[in-house]
Structure 1
Amino acid sequence: MGLIHIPISRVDQKFLNEMQEYMTHELGNKPNTVRNKLQRFRGLVNEAFKQGLISKDPYYQFERVKREKVSRAKLGEKEINRIVNLELEKGSELWHVRNYFIFSFYMAGIRFSDICTLTPENLVDGRLKYEMKKTGSTKNIKLLEPAIEILKGYNTDKKGYIFPILNEVYKDEFVLRKKISSKNVIVNRHLKELAKQAKIDENISFHVSRHSFANYALQKGMGVYSISKALAHSNLKTTEVYLKSFDEELLDNEMENIFK
């Protein structure tokens, strides 16, 4: 399917089936990713249907792949500390990647796409204020001491980005997204090496910092509403689904403790 132009009039149930097959088998997308992409595409199709550009709703009786139950990888407090305490050469790639990951953990799971483009202008009166790329909404959160310590080793008073992830400031949004995506792959590779050195079995990626923060906050008794605000979710339902697997583990631990 690739980068080709397809008339909206050709979008029918057969097209949706082919699209689903392509994403599943050619792109290797997971079921939940396929479902989410099809849901976003549905918005375009609905608009075309309203305007009479297509005569039938192709999504009527269309069967999407079933949603997979998600098990969210996360690190516990001891594992986070093992990464923090690794002896790494200052200025090395692993040293930088550890800083990015730990900074994200202490800053309520700031996403990789956002950490890449932070500038000194995002640091305001002891707070981190930035526009989230995923949602376009603004996040304003207090800079905690461990995060401040990490920032001391980076560019916080000059032009350009704070962290040396991207080589230059990219004005073109498409180019920027591609650069961030390629850097994310490299950072995730380094994170796996950090996990290996810290003797952590979990298969971690940068997004695990976000899961780890949410799990840590839950373990420490932070309420769902506060966790939702910290993660900048649009509604509590999203947070409840996000925390479900962590909540089950917390219950398991509490059950074990009362019968010791």
Structure 2
Amino acid sequence: MASIKAILRKTNQPRKDGKWPLAIRVTKDRKSKFIWLKQYVNEKDWDSRNGTVKRSHPNSARLNHLIAKRIAELNNLVLEIEDKEESTSIIDIRNALTKKKRKNVTFFELAQERLDDYKKRKVFTVHDTDEGRIKTFKKFLGGKDIHFHEITIPLLKKFRTYLIATNGNSERTIANYYILIRTLFNQAIKEGIVERKYYPFGGDGISIKLGESAKIGLNEEELKILENMKYDPSSAKWHTLNVWLTSFYFAGIRISDVVKLKWSDIPDGRLYYRMDKNQKRVSLKIPEKAQRIFDLYLPEKRSEDDFIFPDLKKANLSDKEDVYTKVKTASRRFNRYLKKIAKDAEITKNLSNHISRHSFGNISGDKIPIPMLQKLYRHSDIKTTIGYQNNFLYQDADDALDAVIGF
């Protein structure tokens, strides 16, 4: 039979206020497991013989009630385990305690664990994206927490309506919210937090459909207009347009990769860099148009480790979060100025960082073989390239339409 006792757990040193943590010690075969009560008391207020808080403590009655309640719960759990098994160990008890503890984990508690894990692994982009979606879901719930079994089909349908009516989100964006909730639900089932019978997805439940998002790129005439725009070299618009055109000239590489380019990445007339998203190595010839932009930023004195563009010059390169934050800030600033540049150029399409890639796809059309586009886009699977490029192939459909109505 395991022994259970409340103790004042004296470790290396007390807290700054001199208090020690309260814990319940479960011992079996001379091995112990400690359950922390998240309460702290001074040694003078603790009755070690009886395992209770002395009356000298202002909240002794409340704390002793908490201790008694937890000991009773643990006694019942240990008896339940020992009734089921002929022999038990502290490991069996620990596993049962862990499972019981996880039973009480709420949706937002598990979501926070996921966010904390991303931050520890320095996956900041996914962290920020998921954090934004989780905050939106919590706002929809009025700021309240929720248990997994309370996430029902009707609730998710109401959430969809909320996203459309309040945020104006597309079906693709709604699907991304559903995918995050589904991922957390699957994790909760795996960890024994919720039973599978409450799963609201698949079958007769919520079906997640990834609708195609519209990919609209600039055409050749619009690109020529941008190339001929004249701005003061000290202006934010001038710099923003240079960065955007650099992205386009290299088949739409991500803006986050453009601002990280260093002079050491462009030796011998070629660009060598590692993609931030998937860590793939890339080597491309430097087009003359891109080289002219690089020359605009060439200082009198430089180190090969210097960034070509100035956006990360003040970043702490040993701090990945600081680098990520400054890249994100620069990207937001570029998007803001691209809207102003589009207005100056009288371009009605949504000019943004990512449209440089769509513009390259739109202009390339069917001029470049798919295997070569796969290489330029840095896609792992040629099917991805085919699917992406299909967004910009119109000629066959246009000819077929004219063949019918062109009378």
> What TM bracket, shorter-length normalisation?
0.7 to 0.9
Residue 11 of structure 1: how far off its partner (Å): 4.6
Residue 119 of structure 1: how far off its partner (Å): 1.6
Q: Does residue 290 of structure 2 align to residue 153 of structure 1?
A: no
Q: Does residue 220 of structure 2 align to residue 77 of structure 1?
A: yes
Q: Does residue 339 of structure 2 align to residue 201 of structure 1?
A: no
Residue 68 of structure 1: how far off its partner (Å): 3.1
CA offsets 1:144-194 (integer angstroms, 9 cap, x no match): 111111111125842332112234233333333333223222211211221
Residue 209 of structure 1: how far off its partner (Å): 0.5
Residue 44 of structure 1: how far off its partner (Å): 6.6
Alignment partners' CA distance in 2, 1:6 and 1:27: 25
Alignment partners' CA distance in 1, 2:364 and 2:178: 33
The one-letter code matched in structure 1 to 2:310 is P
Equivalent residues of 2:201, 2:207 under 8 A apart: no
Partner of 1:165: 311
Partner of 2:357: 210
Partner of 2:172: 32
The SS at the match of 1:169 is: coil
Identity %: 28
Q: Which of 243, 254, 258 is the matching residue for 2:389?
A: 243
Partner of 2:52: none
The one-letter code matched in structure 2 to 1:94 is K
User: Structure 2: which 5+ residue stretches go unaligned?
Assistant: 1-107, 114-146
Alignment partners' CA distance in 1, 2:224 and 2:185: 48
Alignment partners' CA distance in 2, 1:257 and 1:226: 31
The SS at the match of 1:103 is: helix
Partner of 1:185: 332
Return closer, same or farther for 1:5/1:176 CA change in 2, 3 Å cut-off: farther
Return closer, same or farther for 1:137/1:48 CA change in 2, 3 Å cut-off: farther
CA offsets 1:22-67 (integer angstroms, 9 cap, x no match): 9937776543244346546766765665566665394652525543
Alignment partners' CA distance in 2, 1:188 and 1:167: 20
Residue 99 of structure 1: how far off its partner (Å): 0.8
Equivalent residues of 1:13, 1:59 under 8 A apart: no
Alignment partners' CA distance in 2, 1:124 and 1:40: 43
Return closer, same or farther for 1:13/1:182 CA change in 2, 3 Å cut-off: farther
Partner of 2:53: none
How many residue pairs match? The answer is: 255
The one-letter code matched in structure 1 to 2:359 is S
User: Structure 1: which 5+ residue stretches go unaligned?
Assistant: none
Equivalent residues of 2:231, 2:238 under 8 A apart: yes
Equivalent residues of 1:103, 1:147 under 8 A apart: yes
The SS at the match of 1:165 is: helix
Equivalent residues of 1:31, 1:65 under 8 A apart: no
CA offsets 1:112-143 (integer angstroms, 9 cap, x no match): 11112112232243222222222222222221
Normalising by structure 1, report the TM-score. Answer: 0.80
Partner of 1:105: 248
Q: Which of 375, 378, 393 is the matching residue for 1:232?
A: 378
RCO higher in structure (CA 8 A, sep ≥6): 1
Q: Does residue 287 of structure 2 align to residue 141 of structure 1?
A: no
Q: Does residue 151 of structure 2 align to residue 14 of structure 1?
A: yes
Residue 257 of structure 1: how far off its partner (Å): 8.4
Equivalent residues of 1:24, 1:31 under 8 A apart: no
Alignment partners' CA distance in 2, 1:175 and 1:106: 28
The one-letter code matched in structure 1 to 2:163 is T
The structure carrying a bigger strand percent of its residues is 2
Return closer, same or farther for 1:251/1:194 CA change in 2, 3 Å cut-off: farther
Partner of 2:257: 114
Alignment partners' CA distance in 2, 1:66 and 1:103: 35
The SS at the match of 1:88 is: coil
